[in-house]
Amino acid sequence: MFIRMIRGALVRQRGKMFLIAFTIALGASLATAMLNVMLDVGDKVNQELKTYGANITVKPNSSTLLSSLYDVEDEGEQIETAYLNEEDVSKLKTIFWAYNIVDFAPFMKMAVTLEDGNEAEAVGTWFNHHLDLTTGESLDAGVVSLRSWWEVTDGSWIDEQNDPVNTIMVGRMLAVRQGWNAGQTVTLTGPRGSEEVTIAGIYDAGGDEDEQIYAPLDLVQKLNGLDGKVESIEVSAITTPDNDLAKRAAQNPAALSAADYETWYCTAYVSAICYQIQEAIPDAVASAVRQVAESEGSILDKTQLLMILITILSLIGAALGISNLVTASVMERAQEFGLMKAIGAKDYSITGLVMIEILITALVGGVAGYFMGFGFAQLIGHSVFGSAIEMKVMVIPIVVVLIALVTAAGSLPAIRMILRLRPAEVLHGSKT
Amino acid sequence: MSLLELKDISKIYGELKALDNVSIHVDKGEWVAIMGPSGSGKSTMMNIIGCMDKPSKGQVFLDGVDISKESSRKLTEIRRDKIGLIFQQFHMVNYLTAVENIMVSQYYHSLPDEEEALEALGRVGLRDRAKHLPSQLSGGEQQRVCVARALINHPELILADEPTGNLDEANENIVLDLFRQLHREGTTLIVVTHDPEVAEAAQRTIVLEHGRVAREIINENFQE
């Protein structure tokens, strides 16, 4: 009989039940979407932030020491410069967190003399340097993606695979001052000779780089007489925001307990990645560009907080909606429940009946909401991050618990109303 | 032998005395009508007799047991086991069929038995309407289903509140005939009504005015 009553209530009141299911579905869909986005947003935001440059710099050990001692940046002539080997750069992709290293480029700076006798700073680097790693992986690394926000206002980026080595890119300010255009051939003179080079493009970086020349690393090494050497490496890595463990480890990893060390080493903290880079590249010191790393952590924390708030608000909204609908439904059915009490139903029987109806409705709404949320998450992923959101299995039990709590909370006023319902008052007036 | 006895019952709402020191008794197998104008206390008395309300003062004895101080939970059990209720507005569960509406009463009493529920429907002449929803039944048919529902658990007392108030004459006669049949079978009937014709069908009429028993009328022409 109980099943007949439930079935009757659900089937013959499907309009009302559909509205309750729809409200639950909306709450569930937002919770599903937000939780999935929140759990996936770390990687997405990190990936997004990688387009704003490197967050780790790698320098030779002695160069870093001098910089630290004299509080000056390495400026070639003033302090004897140490170098890293270009052949070690690819070792970045052999560390434990290699997958998190999304881009990198080596650099070498030197002063060159232009045709009119003026000097300019030339930066040798990789543009889209092709690497075939010992791991079997192939990739293109360099400033084309590491400086993706640069705007090429004339010509195009250097394509290392197709353009000759004697090709350069010139900063907008320098090009204006020299009257240079893309396609023009100019002569650069360094300590070890002169080279005739073609301007592939003029870029607008919006900073000091607009006064510089960016050239293939081989060309600058040749002009400088430093074949196979690099001054620094910039690395863009996807990292986990620092916590207390990461801060302690950054000071001295050796001071950590074995368990903490294991946790730290196997988490993509920027300090752990720096540590592993130093293990991979001899005589190198890797350090985090703190401002970038901390901004990334801060943005990530704020984004996740925003997602949590949206999830909480959507669930509160759903609870209020459920509460209104269920209460309205109970008020409409007051005579029915009054009759049931009059013919012998106990409070718990009627409460149980209503709760089972709502739970079945919630189940239908919750399942529909989960799949709607799946769609919303993909919509958010594609429209905000330009990629799909990975659906996490752990979201399912969380959503089930949240929807159960929200449904129970939303049903409380209606349950209270049922408990207070007096058959005499709803079946006929009691004051005559 | 008395099935129901109200002893010095009062029901007070603030300043209003809905019932004022009322004492009545109803014997087993008796058919009693309670009459009175609007506001005389009929419904309040029905609620107290039907265990849906408690008196402010006085005692209610049902089958010799004082139930005036019982908890709501206990009163629900007494109502379920001893009283069959019939209302003026019928009050059916609108998403259940006629037979299911009767089975609900069985379900909350003991165990639902569809065959027995169909027999009860047959007794009120509605077996062929068993699968109809309330919205597909006329007012008279709905009230007959309610009579069947009130009977299904074999209560000691049938308590009907204006049972013919919303019926035409033909259906009123059908319902009264059913009451006569129940009375012949020994069921105790208390019918609250303002209709003199319905009251005249009973053995005895208690007239309420301003919350008090104004008079009692024995129906000399009562027919079994």
pLDDT digits (tens, 9 = 90+) for B9-24: 999 988 888 899 999 9
Q: How many Å apart are CA A126 and CA A138, to the nearest integer?
A: 15
Same domain, A284 and A362: no
User: How many domains are there within chain A?
Assistant: 2
Q: Residues A284, A328: one domain?
A: no
Q: Is A430 on the interface with B (CB under 8 A)?
A: yes
Contact assignment for A432 to B40 by CB distance below 8 Å: yes
Which domains occur in chain B, in start order?
Answer: 27-52+70-218 (3.40.50.300)
For the record, the structure tokens of A260 come out as: 């903490």
Name which of A13, A349, A428 is nearest B108 (Cβ-Cβ): A349
Which of 181-200 (A) contact B at CB < 8 A? none
Domain-ending residue, one of A237, A261, A288: A288
Least confident of A318-327, A413-422, B152-161, B179-188: A318-327
The answer on A322 and A258 residing in a single domain is no
Rg of chain A, C-alpha, whole Å: 33
User: Does A185 fall in a domain?
Assistant: yes
Q: Which amino acid is at A250?
A: A
A116 and A137 in contact (C-beta within 8 Å)? no
Chain B residues whose CB is inside 8 A of the A428 CB are: 43, 46, 87-89, 161
Partner B contacted by A345 (CB < 8 A): yes
| Pair (A160, A188) in one structural domain | yes
* pLDDT tens, position by position, B28-74: 999 999 998 888 888 889 989 988 888 999 999 998 889 888 888 89
Residues of B in contact with A344 (CB under 8 A): 76-77, 79-81, 105, 108-109
Residue burial A293-317, b: 16+ Cβ < 10 Å; e: rest: beebbeebeebbeebeebbeebbee
Chain B residues closer than 8 Å to A337 by CB:
none
Task: Report yes or no: A12 at the B interface, CB cutoff 8 Å.
Answer: yes
**Whether residue A42 is found in the same domain as residue A138:** no
- The answer to whether B50 contacts A344, with C-beta atoms less than 8 Å apart, is no
* Chain segment B161-215, per-residue pLDDT in tens: 888 887 788 888 888 888 898 898 889 999 998 888 888 889 999 999 999 999 9
Chain segment A10-66, per-residue pLDDT in tens:
877 788 888 888 888 888 888 888 888 877 776 666 666 666 667 899 999 875 554
Contacts of A423 (CB under 8 A, 6+ apart): A338, A339, A341, A342, B52
Q: Which residues pair with A138 in a beta bridge?
A: A132
Is the alpha carbon torsion for B215, B218, B220, B221 positive or negative? Answer: positive
Q: What is the mean pLDDT of residues B79-87?
A: 89
> Is A432 inside any structural domain?
no
Report CB contact under 8 Å: B112, A345.
no
Q: What is the largest CA-CA distance in chain A?
A: 115
Nearest CA in chain A to B93: A336
Same domain for A111 and A20: no
Mean pLDDT score of chain A, rounded to an integer? 84
Are A281 and A345 part of one and the same domain? no
A334–chain B Cβ distance below 8 A for any pair: no
Q: What is the mean pLDDT of residues A143-164?
A: 89
DSSP bridge partners of B174: none
Q: Who has greater pLDDT, B136 or A47?
A: B136
pLDDT for the residue A175: 94
Half-sphere exposure for A420 (CA within 13 Å, toward CB): 9
* Residue A422 lies in domain: 2-46+297-427
- The complex's ipTM works out to 0.86
| Residue A184: count of CB within 10 angstroms of its CB | 16
Q: Which of A252, A270, A288 is the last residue of a domain?
A: A288
Of the residues A231, A253, A288, the one at which a domain ends: A288
Partners of residue A1 in chain B, C-beta under 8 Å:
100, 103-104, 106-107, 112
**Cβ contacts (< 8 Å) between A429 and chain B: which residues?**
43
Residues in chain A: 432
pLDDT computed for residue B57 by the predictor: 92
| Predicted confidence (pLDDT) per residue in A382-415, tens digit | 888 777 888 888 888 988 888 888 888 888 888 8
Same domain, A347 and A307: yes
Interface contact A422-B52, CB threshold 8 A: yes
| Structure token digits, residue A331 | 């008020």
Coil, helix or strand at residue B220: coil
Please answer yes or no on whether B108 and A340 come within 8 Å at the CB atom. Answer: yes
Tokens for A69? 């001692």
Q: Are A329 and A411 in contact (CB under 8 A)?
A: no
d(CA B1, CA B3): 6
CB-based contact (8 Å) between A6 and chain B?
no
**Chain B contact for A342 (CB, 8 A cutoff):** yes
List residues of chain B with CB under 8 Å from any CB of chain A: 13, 16, 18, 38-44, 46-47, 50, 52-53, 73, 76-77, 79-81, 85, 87-89, 91-96, 100, 103-109, 112, 133, 149, 161
Per-residue pLDDT at A77: 47
Inter-residue contact A226 to A83 (CB < 8 Å):
yes
Shared domain check, A377 and A251: no
Give the Cα separation of A182 and A33 in Å (integer): 48
Q: Are residues A214 and A255 in the same domain?
A: yes
Task: Based on the fold, state whether residues A150 and A202 are members of the same structural domain.
Answer: yes
Are the C-beta atoms of residues B12 and B18 closer than 8 Å to each other?
yes
- Which residue from A minimizes the CA distance to B38? A432
- Shared domain for A87 and A218, answered yes or no, is yes
Q: Mutate which of B47, B83, B192, B194 to test chain A, going by most A C-beta atoms within 10 A?
A: B47
